[in-house]
Structure 1
Amino acid sequence: MKKTILSFFVAAAIANAHFLTTISSTDNVNDKKDANIKIDAMFIHPFEQTGMTMEKPVGIYLESTKNALPLTQTKKFDHKAWATNYEIKKPGVYKFFVEPQPYFEPAEEKYISHVPKIIVSAFGVEDGWDEPLGLKYEIIPMVKPFALYSGNLFQGKVLHDGKPASNVEVEVELYNEFGLKAPSEAHITQVVKTDDNGVFSFVMNHKGWWGFAALIEEGEKDFEGKKYPIENGALLWIKAY
């Protein structure tokens, strides 16, 4: 009986997605006073607003791994998290991403390696928001990602090694800083799938930051002498107004 109860709580704990959440102080810089943006990276359950420890990432980058930004250890939801600042000095579209240390999840018997990306427009320039960075797993927005309203239909394309990835599950969650309550556990993490062209669609029904995680299981990594699969996540965080 105790084993059954324990299994139930473990299942409940992992039923809702944990996201490597990356959000910035703004996704639109229109004034010099807002040009020094802060980027937070944390490993959390976004809707439930509960945290997990995030080990120091390999890096937070601008555009490519050649442009690493300085890391500062912080705390989010009582757990270790990371942050960086970047001062935008000229107009453009800026793409930031985080490369984490793979995290072993014993309850799921797999490694989790999520690479989140955010896109920031500065001083009115909007060109290039749909161009890929060339990451192994990546979501490309099909809708201008920094000018969205709640109720808008968002579409993205999942790329795997630069090619559209079909039939891939994409988990979706709201960064719920509003105290919203879900009608059931099943409503916390939404799930859609990509079509034959790697495209998925989702209507954001509330303002705030939304995380999209395209999950592709590929590769293995050793833990205590045993090999486990790696869940690779292409993540994109966008904000609805």
Structure 2
Amino acid sequence: MRRSLMSLATLSCIIGFAVPASAHFQEIIPSADVLEDGGTVTLDMLFTHPFEGGPVMDMKKPERLGVLFDGKSVDLLPRIAEKPVDGKAAWSVSYDLKEPGAAIFYVEPQPYWEPAEGKYIVHYSKVVVDSYASGEGWDELVGLPAEIQPLTRPTGVWTGNVFSGVVLKDGKPAPFAEIEVEFINDGTVKAPNDAFITQVIKADANGTFTYAMPRAGWWGFAALLDGDKPMTSPEGKEVPVEEGALIWVKATDMGAK
């Protein structure tokens, strides 16, 4: 009996180590990536596991929320509205784009304590919306502590195209940064096993990475970097901080509107 219990305990440990931790992604998803005639765009923000469709985690009111347009940044935090998802705190904001050009929306969430990983998570996330399909200004930098600068225009992208970008930390390329890639799954895609849920790639020595998007929809690219300063956990211990540089890109099937 004792031998059986030991075997079960050993098996439990093996299974525990075999199950990978789900990737966290800070979503900031607009109602459209291109507005042909300008107009109002609405962005929804939540903290979740995109491919698995959850669970949704409580997202406290962001530290910063804004839009960069033509070199000028507008504070959108006063316009934010709470929009719970699955009983968890999430947020939404609308903004009117009156002129042609790329509007770069960005959010800095409050640090999220992840007890399972023993660290805080801060994902600096952004998405580009092209007003009047101008094709201009999409590579401007917000100046976030961790940021991805696109080398591929992140709007008007066909399914199967590659997306390239440079991972930046404090404005400088982050060599060999690890990037997690996930698709916002509507439930129609079933992964053969857990290895397919989060795609993992690495940047080269210049911080540059490339990935081909095989399906239409929203794709998140999260470059994971070590924060410079630790934080204090709820238990009063000094713990590390994961800083994420995150950008969202939509792929569209040919023939789709």
Taking a change above 3 Å as real, the CA distance of residues 73 and 167 of structure 1, as seen in their structure-2 partners, is same
Question: TM (normalized to structure 2)?
Answer: 0.87
Q: Report what 1:228 is aligned to.
A: 239
Match of 2:139 in 1: 130
Q: Is the 8 A contact 1:10 1:107 kept in 2?
A: no
Counterparts of residues 44-193 of structure 1 (less than 5 Å): 44-50=48-54, 51-63=56-68, 67-69=75-77, 70-193=79-202
The answer to whether residue 37 in structure 2 is matched with residue 31 in structure 1 is yes
Shift of 1:178: 4.5
SS at 2:240 equivalent: strand
Note the C-alpha offset of 1:59. Answer: 2.9
Q: Say which SS state the counterpart of residue 186 (structure 1) adopts.
A: helix
Once residues 226 and 16 of structure 1 are traced to their aligned partners in structure 2, the CA distance between those partners, rounded to angstroms, is 24
| Structure-to-structure mapping, 1:204-219, within 5 angstroms | 204-218=213-227, 219=229
1:36 counterpart letter in structure 2 = T
Corresponding residue number in structure 1 for 2:27: 21
How far the C-alpha of 1:234 sits from its partner, in A, is 0.3
Structure with the larger strand share: 1
What is the root-mean-square deviation of aligned Cα atoms in Å? Answer: 2.0
**Contiguous gaps of at least 5 residues in structure 1:** none
- Identify the range of structure 1 (169-178 vs 126-135) with the bigger mean alpha-carbon deviation: 126-135
Q: Deviations over 1:69-106 (max 9, x none)?
A: 41111122442211111011111110000110000101
Alignment check: 8 A CA contact 2:76 2:93 kept:
no
**Structure 2 residues not aligned, in runs of 5+:** 1-7, 253-257
With over 3 angstroms needed to count, the CA separation of the structure-2 counterparts of 1:192 and 1:167, relative to structure 1, is same
Runs (4+) of structure 1 exceeding 3 A deviation are: 1-12
Moved more, 72-81 or 171-180: 72-81
What's the % identity of the aligned pairs?
A: 43
Q: 1:184 & 1:136 partners in 2: Cα distance?
A: 34
What letter matches 1:53 in structure 2?
D
Paired residues in the alignment total 238
The AA in structure 1 aligned to 2:240 is P
